Each structure stands twice: as structure tokens, then as C-alpha cells.
Chain A
Amino acid sequence: MDLKYTDAKPSDAERAAVDELLGPAPTGWEGGERDVADLRWAKGGHEARDRRDLLLPALHAVNDRVGWLSEGALDYICRRLTVPPAEAYGVATFYAMFSLRPRPATVLHVCTDIACAARGSKRVTESLTSRLGPAGTPAGGAVWQESPCLGLCERAPAALVIRAGEVPEGGAGTTPTAAVVAPATPDALLLAVRDPGRAAPEPPPVAAVPQAGRPGLVLLRRVGTADPSDLDDYRAHGGYTALRNAFALGPAGVIREVSDSGLLGRGGAAFPTGRKWQATASQPVRTRYLVCNADESEPGTFKDRVLMEGDPYALIEAMTIAGYAVGAHRGYLYLRGEYPRALARLTHAAERARTRGLLGDDVLGHGYAFDIEIRRGAGAYICGEETAIFNSIEGHRGEPRTKPPFPVEQGLFGRPTAVNNVETLVNVLPVLEHGAAAYAATGTPSSTGTKLFCVAGTVGRPGVFEVPFGATLRDLLDLAGGVPPGLRAVLLGGAAGGFLRPDELDVPLTFEGARAAGATLGSGVVLVLDDTVDLPRILIRVAEFFRDESCGQCVPCRVGTVRQEEALHRIADLRGAAAAADVALLREVGQVMRDASICGLGQTAWNAVESAIDRLGAYE
């Protein structure tokens, strides 16, 4: 490719950050020192273009070190990876965590999403506005901004401080200094902004699991009981039995067990996992991939975070099994960018597994080669969509692709790929430990096993709860401290899900039960709102979320989400006839979004608002 680069030069720190990831520039053609030898040959072609997938890691490297992406830094990355500068700019501007303008090294992300709004995020932002100035204005070496759900809803209101700088011990792949402040108070935030390295430590993941230690837990059983950093402890608690069993069964046997177990995907679409693996494994193309979708960005969802922080080896083992079943030798773990602790723990766990021969050329001495690469997202909900995740990993804008072709046919790098959610994968462990029949004995015939629910909002004991499929919403709320007085509504399934009324608490929490009630389990969100919550504002927040997170590719979603948000603002304080015209407008726009959007984001963006109108009588 004959690319034209710009004349902008990177600073020493920017160059060092990129070189740490990619190694020093070998020649002047790639932005290194230019010498006479460079004039006698040209580099480029396929080999150079092959590393396009390092674009996002390289952008992260600079952002981690310097805090923003200058023209010089971007140009240097382009030269190193043979990426057209316009495209790199298009990619960098796609992600909310990057800035192409200078900004302070310390960025404070304050969640104003549904669960946090229900727990007083407004007080936090008001206080910050008066003490630090309005959002987005740098002050005292820091800048704060409002953020969508940070996946810390059990400790709402939540905030995350990220400070760019030298990567601390632990090396590449980990975020720079980051501090979670949740529940956030203005004082704690100011302290954390001043010195994130010395912020009060986060409570351990088990703090998010009120059921911890109780008998009967399957997916959460090791959280809080096994040391998440210690591979031996993981093995002492039953770790790596499933992988051994998998090797004994062979790939086809594993797929048979997983199919027979009735396991359905937990990422939202409830697709049968066995069928997905079978379809991937039976492709004639030999290079296949596994992608673990750990982008967890659906507002109100934090179960994957708790699993990854509390039991990281389980995911490493489960990915190895999935890779073995579908015939993949490389698995990508795409982790949401705002999960610094999960990143550190998974990075550590993968390293340990590698040193102990549980990842690598010859896993457990069975002649099967498999390794895992962790890729960080950079603030884009849409990258959790199963084809957008491929584009993101490949170094393109995280825009969903047209289906067909489906991921099992042409996925990551155009190869057959199985994409699975974290919780889905971790379910494979009990399937292989105890067999499909034992697994399927829990739950209902069409929703087998147990399910994690993320209970947050106005409840006494928010957290991740594990219940067998078939428990009712009321059962779940009882575990979480009881049905709160003045209950107004429960948002089930996330921002792309729907609201249930207080008289609908006996809905069985199964895929079929939710469907029959006109709802969806989605990603397991159970967001409880009492009557102190301003429903129209919550609906505006939902609409804002989708407006912000729309990739912008298709008209129904790109413009429709904006028109819906505008209408919801207009009727925020109106009821009845005064709101009727805009409610009708919302429905018409909602219909085209649902019918004609390219991907699930646009297709479901209006679900929650519609259900609030139809089921809760908002605006009546």
C-alpha cells in the first residue's frame, strides 16, 4: 500500500509507549531513525498490513502513557502498522475513552446511568460541578465527565478515576493507575482524583456476592472461597477437572455434552451454545477462533465482572475447553475498557496458566495448542455486538457487520468463530464436571442450569445472585433484602429489556417465562426502582444511552435515537393528552428502529421506553 502519512512527529513518551508494545521501529520507513540502507528497499505489503489488529492496543498504549492521542502519536502508529491516517483517525474517534485533544492525565468518569441515578448520582455530579467546575473542563490536572454504566451498580453511585502515566509494575497490558470509587461521595472523589494510587482499596469481589459461601452455588462457588490469584488454590477447589474431562471426551464429545446440557447463551440472545460450537467446528476452514465477549456494557450488568475478578481461572479454563471443542488455537478475550481489576486478574491468571502449561503449545500434555490474548475495549457498548467485536479486534471501527455471513461461517479475520459470553463459558465447567444430565436437572426443561442476576437499584442487598432457572422475581428480591416498600417497577434485562410492574413479581425467571410475560432476561439485569425515582428522567437516560452508543451506521438508529431522546425531553413533565402526540411519535420512530435497523442495538433501543409507556403507564 502506498500510503501518505503526515509530517507530525511523536513525542519521546509517545514513541516509547508505542515501541514498548511493538518493539523499536526497525527502519526509517516505519518512523524509526532513517539511514542510507532505508533508501535501498521499501517495506509494506501483506506482512506489514497483517498487524492492523494492533491498532487498538497501540492507541491504548499512548493513551495510557500520555492521556490523549496527538497527531504525532497517531501518525507514528500509522507508520508502524501501515494504517492509513484517515482510518486510524476514524477508529480513534469511535471510542469514548480516547481523546484527540489535549486533556489532563487524570480523568474521572462519574456514572449517571440508571442504577446510579436511582442511588443519587445527581448529588455527586452537582457537587463536582460546584467544586471542580462543569463536566469536561480541566481543573487542577484533572477532568471529570459523565459516564454510562460502569458495571459497578451494586455499589452505586459509582465512579472510576484513570490516571495516565508510566505503566506501573506488571508491564504492558494493564491499565495505568486506576481507582474505583463506589459508593462515590464528593470527598472521596476529590481525594481519589488527587492521588488515585492511594485511594481507598476496592472491596473484594465477594462483597458483590451476598450469597457467598452458601451451599448450592455453582457459578459463584469459588468467589470468596478460592484465592483468585492462586492457581493451586483454584485447582484445590475443583479447577481443571472439566478440562481433563474434556480431553477424555474429545472435541465432538464436548460438543455433545454441551448440546445435551441445553445450555443457552447468557449474553442476551439465548442461542444454544452446543449448536453454535457444532456449527463452528464443522466449517471446512481450518483456522478458527474463539472470542470471549467480556465487553459487559449493558446498563445494570456486572455479573461478568464479578466472575472475572472473583474466579479468573474459571474463565481461562472454560475458554480453553471452548477452543478445544471448536478447533481453535487462539482465543481472544475482549474485555470492556473500564474494568481495570478484571484486566489485572485475568492477565495474571493467563500468565500463570501459561507458565504451568495450561495454556501454550501443549496444554496439559495433550498435544493441543491454545493461547489467549486479552484485548481491551475503549468505551463502546456496540463492541459487545457479536460482529462489531470482530471489527474492533481487527483494528477497524466497531461497527456491526451485515449478517449473513454469520460469525460461525466468517467471523474474526474472516474465519469461523464462536463468540460466547463470559457467563455462558463458565457454565461449561459444571457441564463437563458432572455431565449434561446432572447439569440439566437444575432449572426447567427449556432453561437449564442456574442463572446470574445483577440486582441493583433501590434494594437492601444489591449484588450478583445465582438462582436456578424457574425462581420467580419475588424469590430473587427476597434474597436481595425483600421487595422494597413503594416499589414502582423492575427493569428486567437491561436498557434493551423492559419494565415489569409490582404486580408482576411472580414471573418465573426463565427464558420462556420472561418471553411469555412479554419481557426478556437479557443480560440478567434486575434493576429495582421505587416511587422516589423520577421515571421520565430515567427514560431520558435510557434514550441518551442509546443515542450515545449508536455506532451511526444506519439511519433508523443514528437519527431515530436522537429523535426519541428529543421527544422524551419534550414530555418529561407532561401527562395525558399533552403528551399524546409525542408518545405517538415515539411509537412511529420506535417501529422503524425495530424493523429496519442493522443490529440489535437499534432494534431493541426502544424496548424499555415502550414498556414503560405500555406497562407502567408513564405519561398517563
Chain B
Amino acid sequence: MTSVPLGLPRRRVEFELDGETVHVLEGDTILDACTAAGKDIPTLCYGDTLTPKNACRVCVVEVEGARTLAPACSRRAEPGMKVRTGSERARHSRRLVLELLASSTDLSTTPHVAGWIEEYGAEPARFGPDAATVAGRGAKVDNDLYVREYGKCIMCYKCVDACGDQWQNTFAIAVAGRGFDTTIAVEHDGPLPDSACVYCGNCIEVCPTGALSFRSEYEMRAAGTWDEDAQTETTTICAYCGVGCNLTLHVQDNRIVKVGSPHDNPITRGNLCIKGRFGYQHVQNVQGTE
């Protein structure tokens, strides 16, 4: 049986969202209100299991009277606030953020982004062929379990937060460098096997761009056989220990190609350990089939 802590009752906050009066609970963000109202605000660095870092700024909205735009993902709704999600200024910033990111990073495996680029009329190519980009950073393939392609990384900090004090408490990775040269790295930017990494894969779970991926996914993509439409997802329970974490098995051609975990599970919130995340080989390495 699960018990859900109720906490103190939260007050209702009334504010104006795109001209309509809406109500949310105290502490809710503008994004929460947008989601409840069925508005689709693009987000990249926001993660449903993490404290907002509000680093990407693709979710900005206009709050009347404020000098700057506000990140919807982290700004709390306040009584009487007047918020416009589709104002000219907000749309301009979203378009430019998409252009800046798409011109400096490989977004080919970032879900939704192609649609947003079209929706906002973003033209990443207009910065010219010489625009600086990190897209050329090579893939770090240094272990059997997962691959780091920092050419696809948008520096959302989510993997670092998941590895650090928000979930895993392993602190294997951190942000290194400064400005355009920042990257995610273990100490001295060395290989993962030399680091503190315990291969829980919780960083992969939250990465919004595919910069972190299962080795199986990476290799299938390279071979051109990765096909999400042909995959099924089955949520089951990890058989290794008594905790009973939920696993979501992504299966293609009758083989497990990736393992996730439901973010709404109140105990694990999408997190697993190495056994649940990567310990599925025994299911398919049946003698004679390899």
C-alpha cells in the first residue's frame, strides 16, 4: 500500500493567462497552469522529476509589468499576475532560442524540436555556414552500456542534477568550462569507467536530446535499424531485488533495446540502478540465439 503525504493545504491563486482567469494552487508554476489550460509551451531543460534549472529559456512568457520575460517552467503563479504566452516578444525569444540552439548543436534526436522550429518559423541556417557549433564533438563510446554524444548536448544540467544531489548522489558528472565551451564531464574529462559512475542510467532517463543513449540505441542508429515506430513499450517490475522498481522495456524485433522507468512512480520517479537499467541481457542472450 502506498501512502501519499498530503502536506499543508495550499491556497488557490487566481491570475490571468492569455486574457482568461485561471486558478492554480499556490506554488504551481505558470507552466503548470498552461498545461492545465491545454496550452502547449515548448520546454527543453524542464524535467518533471527535477527542480527547474531554467537554463534553456525556450519556455519564456511575458508577464505584464516585468522588465524581462519569465521562464514558465519555474516562475510561480502569483495572484493578479497577467501572463501572455503568445505575445510577440515571447514568440521572438522562443524563435531565437531555437535558432541559437539548432545552429550550435545537433538536435537530430531531440523530440518535438523539428515541430517547434516550424511552428515558430525559426531559421537556424541564417547564422551562416561558419557559425560556431559544438555539433562536431565526437561521441564518447568508452563503455558497454551507454554513450555520450556531447555534440547533441544543450547544457540543460538535467543529467548533472540527476546524478548529483537531486537523485543519485554519485556526483560522477558536472558542468565544466565556461561560456560556449561548457560541457558535461567527469573529472579531467576522462572516460566514464575511470570515474565515479555507477551506471544507473538515471542521467539517460532525463536527457532531453538523446545526447545520452543506450549503447544499443546508439549502435542501431548508426546501423540505420533504430525504428521507434516498430517498438513496443511494456512496463513491468524489476526482478532483481525486493524494492520492486517499475521498468519500461522498449522492445524492437523481440529484443530489448532500451529500458526506462515511469516518472510518475511515487517511489522511484524514473530512477533505477544498474541492474534494472542495463541488466536485461540474460533475457535475450539465450544460448544459441546469438
Contact = CB atoms under 8 A, between A and B. Distances in A.
Contact of A89 (B68, B127, B176): B176
A558 B155 contact: yes
A402, A551, A570, A591 — most chain B CB neighbours (10 Å):
A402
A86 B57 CA distance: 26
A605 to B, nearest CB: 12
Interface in B116-141: 126-128, 130-132
7 contacts: A1-B171, A86-B174, A551-B178, A552-B178, A558-B180, A562-B132, A591-B96
Contacts, number: 159
A550 B104 CA distance: 16
Interface in B20-60: 54-58, 60
Contacts of A90: 174-176, 185
Contact of B126 (A558, A560, A585): A585
A71 interface: yes
B237 interface: no
B238 interface: no
B19 interface: no
B284 interface: no
Given A84-B171, A555-B154, A596-B93, A402 B54 contact: yes
Given A84-B171, A556-B93, 10 more contacts: A1-B169, A4-B195, A86-B187, A397-B175, A550-B180, A556-B57, A556-B96, A592-B96, A592-B97, A595-B68
B57, B58, B68, B155 — most chain A CB neighbours (10 Å):
B57
A282 interface: no
A380 interface: yes
B179 interface: yes
B266 to A, nearest CB: 25
A597 to B, nearest CB: 7
B263 interface: no
B93 A86 contact: no
Contacts of A1: 169, 171
A559 B134 CA distance: 11
Q: Main secondary structure on chain A at its contact with chain B?
A: helix
B100 interface: yes
Given A549-B179, A555-B55, A555-B97, A595 B69 contact: yes
Contact of B101 (A89, A402, A555, A603): A555
B57 A554 contact: yes
Interface string A524-553: 000000000000000000000001111111
B181 A555 contact: no
Interface string A570-583: 10000000000000
B182 interface: yes
Contacts of B89: 591, 595
Contacts of A585: 126-127
B128 A566 contact: yes
Contacts of B251: none
B58, B130, B186 — most chain A CB neighbours (10 Å):
B186
Interface in A146-203: none
A597 B130 CA distance: 24
B68 A556 contact: no
Contact of A563 (B54, B69, B100, B187): B100
Contacts of A554: 54-57
A549 B182 CA distance: 12
A328 B175 CA distance: 33
Given A87-B171, A90-B175, A598-B55, A556 B185 contact: no
B239 interface: no
A137 to B, nearest CB: 20
A71 B58 CA distance: 37
Nearest to A552: B182
B131 A566 contact: yes
Interface of B: 54-58, 60, 68-69, 74, 89, 92-93, 96-97, 100-101, 103-104, 126-128, 130-132, 154-155, 164, 169, 171-182, 185-189, 194-196
Given A556-B57, A566-B130, A603-B68, A592 B179 contact: no
A242 interface: no
B187 A85 contact: yes
Given A1-B169, A591-B96, A553 B55 contact: yes
A563 B127 contact: yes
Contacts of B175: 90, 397, 552
Contacts of B189: 89
Contacts of A597: 57, 68
Given A563-B127, A563-B131, A591-B92, A558 B173 contact: no
A38 interface: no
Contact of B178 (A93, A570, A595): A93
B54 A555 contact: no
A1 B97 CA distance: 38
B89, B96, B164, B182 — most chain A CB neighbours (10 Å):
B96
B178 A94 contact: yes
Given A94-B177, A550-B178, A552-B155, A595 B93 contact: yes
A555 B100 contact: yes
Nearest to A379: B178
B187 A74 contact: yes
Interface in A299-349: none
Contacts of B172: 4, 84, 86
A396 to B, nearest CB: 10
A473 to B, nearest CB: 26
A287 interface: no
Contact of B196 (A86, A94, A550, A570): A86
Given A558-B155, A560-B100, A596-B60, A71 B178 contact: no
A507 interface: no
Contact of A559 (B60, B130, B180, B194): B180
A552 B54 contact: no
Contacts of A217: none
B117 to A, nearest CB: 14
A570 to B, nearest CB: 8
4 interchain residue pairs of minimum CB distance: A84-B171, A90-B174, A592-B96, A552-B182
A548 B179 contact: yes
A555 B56 contact: yes
B11 to A, nearest CB: 18
A588 B97 CA distance: 11
Contacts of A121: none
A552 B101 contact: no
A566 B97 contact: no
Interface string A373-415: 0000000100000000000000001000010000000000000
B127 A566 contact: yes
A84 B96 CA distance: 36
B97, B128, B169, B175 — most chain A CB neighbours (10 Å):
B175
A589 interface: yes
A598 B54 contact: yes
Contacts of A71: 187-188
Contacts of B131: 563, 566
A86 B132 contact: no
Contacts of B58: 555
A3, A6, A560, A592 — most chain B CB neighbours (10 Å):
A592
Nearest to A4: B196
Contacts of A560: 96, 100
B177 to A, nearest CB: 5
Contacts of B101: 555, 559
